[in-house]
Structures are given as C-alpha cells and as structure tokens.
Chain A
C-alpha cells in the first residue's frame, strides 16, 4: 500500500525535531556553531537555512544510494556528499550574500563536522526511504534553526537593542539610562541562553527529564 506524502507518520518527522526531539536542546548536538553565530539574527538565520539545506539534501542523496554504498566505506561516502553540499552552499553564500558569509566565516565550512548532519545520515538516511529521509533532514535542520533564531533574537535584542540590524529599543530609553547588556554579545551568554531554553523546555515536557 502506498503511503501519502504527508501522512501523519511523515509529519512527525518534521515536527518531532522542533520540540521533543530537538537536536540542540534534547540531543545536545551542534552546540558549537549555535554559540558562535547567534550574536545577530541575520547570520543565525542564514546559518540555519544552510544547515537545513545540507541535512535535507545529504539525507536525500545518501538515502537514494544507500543500497549501493559498501558498508566498509560508508562514512567516507557520507562525508564526500556532505562536504560537497557544504562547499556548494559556501560558494553560493560568497556569491550572493557576501557580508553574511564573511560573518559566518569558518562556521559554514564546519557544517561538515556538525554532528546533526552525520548523526541523521547514520541513524536515519542509511535505513529509510528517500522522501522520509528528506523530511527528517528538513525537520532536524528546522529544529536546529529554531533554537538558533530564538537565541540570536534574545542576544541581539538585549545585547545591541536591535532585531535584524534594525534599532528597536527606542532612543528615549537610552537617554533615560537604559544600556545594552554587553555580556549578551559574548559567547558565554549563548551557552547560558541555551541552558535557559533547555530548562524551560524540560519544565513543560517533564518526560524529557532524565529519570536517573
């Protein structure tokens, strides 16, 4: 029997990583780049899109050729596919959003080593059909992106009073003694912000709390 493209089982692949199976807050993967690129919203959003594209398409490609990949060199094949996609993304960013690509600098290249990408390939794409793998990649990329955008929103808003580079904290606030919190711009606050998000998430979904 043929399953519809967006059956509830497939939708779950998309929605799961957004909350209960989030790669950053639940699986604690991809933290490094989440700390580094969340000072401002624009680079964070571009990074989120890049990772989503890479996970989705590497999942799709690997899943399509999964039966031809020799077990002994499967990691190498996965890496070649991921690296190719990352280079393509990097080249496109350099050509069309140069200023953002400069801000992201090495972190686009480091998507290759992002645990989320390899993790999904090994855990999902090697065993599942292409369409389901593609959705799984999209979902995990989006779950990663969601946290990145949330963290960068808090950091940019409290750290520089801006959202997407636009001043949102009115001048009158500064004149009356309001100051941007310089600490928000520094990497440690990203870690603390993610920690707070994890705390809130686990207070709401108590199943996530480690029983031991």
Chain B
C-alpha cells in the first residue's frame, strides 16, 4: 500500500515532468506550425482568384499574384497595419465596431487585370465559417470565392468548401443595374438560372447556407464605402 503522502508527491512530480515536456515541445514546434498557417492563408487567398497553389509553391505564387495589400479602418480610411497579419477572428470579436480593421488584397491576374480580394468571416451551424471574395476591377462582378469552415457537418454544411458550391459564384454581381447593393444571396430552394445575385443553397445545410449568406452580405457591406468610392473613379 502506498501512503497518501506518497500519492501526492508522486502525482506532483508526474505532472511537473509532463508540463515541462509539453512546454518544450509546444515552444519548439511553434515556428513550424505558424508557418503552416501562414501558407494555408496564402493558398486560400490565391484560391479566391482561382489560382490553385500547393503548400510548396504557395509562397512564390502569392508573391507573383498579390501585388498590394492594405488595411482600412472602420471609416474606410487607410491605416498603417500589415493586412496579411490581421486575424479576422479577432476583428469580428471586437465589440467596438469602429475599432475593427478591414484588410484588402489586390491581385494582378495573368491577363493584366487587377482583382480586389475581401476577406470575410461569419458563423455557420457548429462554428465559424470564413472565406475570401475576389471582385473584378469593375467592383461588381465576382471573379472567384473561397470558403472554409471549422466544423460543419460533412456532406451537408461542409459542402460550402467544395468546388461545386464555390463555382456557382463566378460572374455573379453584387450590385443591380440601378447600383443598389444586393450582395450575393445563398438561396434555399435554389436560385433562378438568370439570377445574377443568387446561388443555390445547400440541401440539408440550411443554417450553414444562411451563415454564408449573412457573411457575404455583412462582410461586403462593411467595405461598401470603399467599393463605391472605387467604382466612381
């Protein structure tokens, strides 16, 4: 039989050893993990302009296509913050909306046109959803989109991350002919074939679809002053 004293000392020592080991490992591997996250972000941004990058060539392709990045504050005035380093998850959590920062990425495409990429973040059914919308230089037509999620149901809500869902967005427009902001709606029951402001929602993924719908609507709405300003010039 072991005494209580022995048990206490024993558990304390075990826990201390484990704590030290885990700390060393976590600190040692952090740079590699951070780099993986950075490269994934580059891949995601590139995907929104329909450039498929592997982890190996993501950095080179990002340098090639993304020619400029900048950050806007809530009044849509440029601020001196590195756009790439902004974590949108933290920005949307800020209770003070006027303190939020809005990154913008500008890509130069193979045909010489520029494209403007806006990052978005919203809420799905089980957790956050996020993505990037790339607009053509008319600031109206969608060049491409990229969506991903933390833990939506595979086969249902998780379908937002598939090519089939995202391909629907190509060529859709966020403004109607009168210039009113319409966003791109993710419609339950499907969009009409000639609807330039809507795409088909996902059967069985209604709440995720609504989340994406709201994310695009709210996300681009925040950029509207900037988009409208750019449309005029």
Contact = CB atoms under 8 A, between A and B. Distances in A.
Interface of A: 68-73, 76-77, 80-81, 84, 87-88, 91-92, 94-96, 98-99, 105, 186
A77 B14 CA distance: 8
Nearest to A36: B154
Chain B's interface: helix, strand, loop or mixed, by majority?
helix
Nearest to A92: B29
B7 A72 contact: yes
Nearest to A98: B36
A98 B33 CA distance: 8
A95 B39 CA distance: 12
Nearest to A84: B18
B155 A186 contact: yes
**Looking at chain B, what size class is its interface with the partner chain?**
20 to 34
Interface of B: 2, 6-7, 10-11, 14-15, 18, 21-22, 25-26, 29, 32-33, 36-37, 39-40, 55, 151, 155
16 contacts: A72-B7, A73-B7, A73-B11, A77-B10, A80-B18, A81-B18, A84-B21, A88-B21, A88-B22, A91-B25, A94-B36, A95-B33, A95-B36, A98-B33, A98-B40, A105-B151
A99 B29 CA distance: 16
Nearest to B37: A98
Contacts of B40: 98
Contacts of B32: 95-96
